[in-house]
Amino acid sequence: MNDAGRLADLERLIQSAPVPWQTQLLAVGASLALLAAVLWLVRRRALGVEFTAVWIAVAVGAMALSISTDLLGLVTRLLGAWTPRSTVFFFAQFFLIATCLHYAVRLTRLSLQVKNLSQEVALLSAELETLRAPSSRAE
Amino acid sequence: MENPASDRDRLLIIPAFNEAERLPRVLAEVAGAVSGFEVVVVDDGSSDGTADRAAEGGARVLRHPFNLGYGAALQTGYKYARRRGASLLVQMDADGQHNPRDIPGLVRPIERGECDLVVGSRFGGAEVYGMSLAKRVGGMVFRAMARLYGVRITDPTSGFQAMNRSVVDLYTSDAFPSDFPDVDVLLFAHRYGLRIGERPVAMNAGTRPSSIHRRLTPIYYTYRMLLAIWAVSARKRRPSGPQEARTRE
């Protein structure tokens, strides 16, 4: 058998290796913890309902992949990765980068709104001062 | 300082951040040099009593609740001018580097209807402004880029400018940057068909840079300006030009 054949066998062997129950338990636990944290934050009004959809989806998706190792294996093979762990890390990193970009866009919009509001405060304060000035009242 | 007959129509905007020390002198010089302008100081969240000094100097004061940046301070002045229905606006810095005696020269091309926006150039005045080599090189690069896009200005980073209502309308839009409005906004105005001119002005050498400019780090500034110039040229020109922008309010 040549090197390419041995490598393919090794890839198949690693991909078909069962996920240890400890890892599976940890992944399910982490998914549940994330779900619980999101719900707890919503309950405390620390996280707006409008921001929860993506986090709930992540928690549920992670839980589905943790329980169904076949599904994770399928996704791993589709991506061309060797181990399910690589797949999980790939999606986690992609999600974090996308989240950062999303919040940068939101922050840009909020900065613009804060700037416009502050300018409005400055202009209205000046108008108020004019109206309160003695000469203005005399008129 | 104010001429009731025309000061509603002509505004002098001075953005200031922690300039309590130098602003009174600037305001006194303005009072001695020009008349017929309402002088408006935009205090960009100063903590040293700049707003009080400005009011004592006879200026109208617009106070930002906190520091928003040089561009935002200028834009507050533009928004004020728009509400006042001013037809002419001059902007100058609060650090004393601009000479108010140059204001009539800046304003003249606008009054004659030759330009919409006039930039005071440091490179044609009687006095030479003491610029560092880095700033000179940066100025050359931005000058070349402005020329590439059709704006022939020798000093595109000058903050000493005069403009008419069309420019003010355009600059009150959300496209105006909050931090460093320089070459990119000139290109922005040029893209909207506004006529940009230039007049030589004298700059007071040896002036310590204004607090409002001091945090400007050259590397970030260059990066930011190059990206902004690209963005201005890459964006589609919206149909809402100055005229339409004015009717929105």
Q: pLDDT (tens digit, 9 = 90+) per residue, B54-93?
A: 999 999 999 999 999 999 999 999 999 999 999 999 999 9
Cβ–Cβ under 8 Å, residues B44 and B19: no
* Residue B22 φ/ψ, nearest 5 degrees: -95, -20
- Tell me which of B43, B68, B74 to substitute to probe the interface with A (most A C-beta atoms closer than 10 Å): B68
Find the chain B residues whose C-beta atoms sit closer than 8 A to any C-beta of A: 42, 60-66, 68, 72, 75-76, 79-80, 83, 174, 178
| Choice between B212 and B158, residue whose per-residue pLDDT is larger | B158
For the segment A58-97, what is each residue's pLDDT rounded down to a tens digit? 999 989 888 887 888 888 889 888 888 888 889 999 999 9
Say whether pLDDT at B101 is over 70. yes
Name, in order, each residue with C-beta under 8 angstroms of B209's C-beta and a sequence gap of 6 or more: B95
Say whether pLDDT at A43 is over 70. yes
| Choice between B117 and A88, residue whose per-residue pLDDT is larger | B117
- Averaged pLDDT score across all residues of chain B: 85
Mean pLDDT, range A43-47, rounded to an integer:
88
Cβ–Cβ under 8 Å, residues B194 and B170: yes
Contacts of A112 in chain B (CB under 8 A): 174
d(CA B30, CA B227): 36
Which pLDDT score is estimated for A23? 84
Checking phi first, is residue A31 left (phi over 0); if not, alpha (psi -120 to 50) or beta? alpha
Contacts of B80 in chain A (CB under 8 A): 123, 126
Contacts of B174 in chain A (CB under 8 A): 112, 116
Q: Which residue of B has its CA nearest to A130?
A: B60
For the segment B179-205, what is each residue's pLDDT rounded down to a tens digit? 888 888 999 999 999 999 999 998 876
Partner residues linked to B162 by β-bridges: B90, B118
Say whether pLDDT at B249 is over 50. no
Contact between A119 and B61 using a beta-carbon 8 Å cutoff: no
Say whether pLDDT at A25 is over 80. yes
User: How many CB pairs lie under 8 A apart between chains A and B?
Assistant: 37
d(CA A77, CA A83): 9
Smallest CA-to-CA distance from A115 within B10, B164, B79, B111 is with B79
Distance set, CA A84 to CA A12, A91, B29, B89 (Å): 12, 11, 73, 64
- Tell me which of B39, B64, B67, B227 to substitute to probe the interface with A (most A C-beta atoms closer than 10 Å): B64
Mean pLDDT, range B161-179, rounded to an integer:
94
Name, in order, each residue with C-beta under 8 angstroms of B78's C-beta and a sequence gap of 6 or more: B13, B89, B168, B171, B172, B176
d(CA B224, CA B233): 14
Please state, for a pLDDT cut of 90, what percent of chain B lies above it: 59
Picking from B23-27, B157-161, B173-177, B215-219, which range would have the lowest pLDDT averaged per residue? B215-219
Picking from A116-120, A128-132, B210-214, which range would have the lowest pLDDT averaged per residue? B210-214
Which pLDDT score is estimated for B240? 52
